[in-house]
Chains A and B, each alone.
Chain A
Amino acid sequence: MAAKLLHIDNLSADSKLKEGNENSSGNIVALTPSALDANSAARAEETALLVSLKQHQDEQVFEALYRRFAAKLKSYLISLGSSADTAEAVVQEVMVTVWTKAHLFNEEKASARTWIFTLIRNRYIDLKRAEARQSNAYGQYALSGIETETSSDIQFNHTAGQQISVMLEALPREQAEILLLAYVEGKSHREIAEQLGVPIGTTKSRLRLAFQRLRKLMETAQ
């Protein structure tokens, strides 16, 4: 399985310093308000689009959502080790679901990006299970066995102002690193501990702190 995605160096080199920017009550103060605002605005726009699709089934609205998400969904699957062809087919399926099942979206429970993330995540889990059942034969959607050409091209480009980097940069580097390996490479916390050469307990405590910060971050960002 391709596992060469992470460009941790692209995280702010001095993100550790940001620990010092946290005040005594643990509030995160390192984020730039404008970057956070831009991210919140983008999130709200996506959710409004999905609500509109849910209500009117408008083709242009769907196209706008497609333009925002399809290429990112493909990057996500490829980063998890999927071949480009498989990723393309699965993205199409998921986007069809976005269109046909938009009426099931509840904007009070999740943002559009979270809902779409859970759709692709569920499909990814299905694929992994199918792969486990057919481990001796490559199924239509085999996730491994093919070294993908593209994963090394995917990297977080925080210089382009992508908000995800802003959120990750609010975390100490060692926490952001673990989150990226889990989300983007699909590694379990034990695999991450082994890869980083740190005790399992250290990985757990870093993730505990990361969750505390993420909670504050997500509350601030909504």
Chain B
Amino acid sequence: MTPNHHPSEAWLLDFALGNLSPAFETVLNAHVGTCEECQNNVRLAESFGGEILAGLPGHSSTGDVKTISAHLTLEKEQENRVSMATSRAIETVAAESFEHFVETYLNSSIGALRWRTLGRGLNICRLSSDHDVRLWMLKAQAGTVLPDHSHSGSELTMVLKGAYFCGSEIFRAGDIEDADESTIHRPVVTGQGECICLAVTEGNLKFQSWLPRLVQPLIGI
């Protein structure tokens, strides 16, 4: 699986530096794990982090190296707390199927997911909500047309299964659609089978027509 649509470098920089909230982190983790191009960008951000570190002025009151010896003695008896998975550009095979994705990144199983039917072949599964950031999944039957909408913040959508069109672009498994308040889109699921997406959104979606706006408070997106 080689993704064709990627999160912008801004997201990869946030991911590389640990500057993301958990929900965005989940989506980035799943994409970066399968995307060589984004792994390279994360490594680039980390390399530049080394340059930034090396260029920082040293703090004037840093402990003497001799104080380390006490830690070293302790170290022999305890597991070091610093994570040794150094780079965040970690390749995984976990997102190669929807089942693997649910087990690895959501720490759950397909049977445990609670889908809510919205009618017209559309289901959502809410995963987490933290302040105004929501992580959810959307499952739509082949040919489903989602209502036109824009956003009041950032939205990252990762295709986990199937594919959808947005304008002239097609988003397939592993791809990320990177949207924000400047984006208005109307995803259309391809005719080749159901499509499942993972989405993280900041703030509420802004629907263009009255019916989705009416039901929005009920479905919580």
Contact = CB atoms under 8 A, between A and B. Distances in A.
Interface in A70-110: 70-76, 78-79, 84, 87-88, 91-97, 99-101, 104, 109-110
B37 to A, nearest CB: 11
Given A121-B17, A186-B19, A188-B14, A110 B41 contact: no
A134 interface: no
Contacts of A188: 14, 19-20
Contacts, number: 212
A88 B64 CA distance: 11
Interface stretch (A12-20, A21-29, A162-170): A162-170
A92 B58 contact: no
Contact of A182 (B19, B61, B72, B180): B19
B53 A97 contact: no
Interface in B4-21: 8-11, 13-14, 16-20
Given A163-B55, A221-B51, 6 more contacts: A73-B53, A104-B84, A121-B17, A207-B9, A207-B10, A211-B9
Contacts of B65: 62-63, 66-67, 70
Interface of B: 8-11, 13-14, 16-20, 41, 43-63, 65, 67-68, 71-72, 75, 80-88, 153-154, 180-182, 202
A79 B88 CA distance: 22
With most chain A CB atoms within 10 A of its CB, the pick from B44, B52, B57, B59 is B59
A201 B180 contact: yes
B10 A121 contact: no
Given A71-B59, A117-B53, A204 B9 contact: yes
A116 interface: yes
A110 B47 contact: yes
B63 A93 contact: no
Contacts of A163: 51, 54-55
Where chain A touches its partner, the secondary structure class is helix
Interface of A: 39, 42-43, 46, 62-63, 66-67, 69-76, 78-79, 84, 87-88, 91-97, 99-101, 104, 109-126, 128, 150, 153-157, 162-165, 167, 179, 182-184, 186-190, 199-201, 203-204, 207-208, 210-211, 214-215, 218, 221
Contact of A101 (B13, B63, B84): B84
B85 to A, nearest CB: 7
A76 B86 contact: no
Given A70-B62, A126-B83, A186-B17, A167 B55 contact: yes
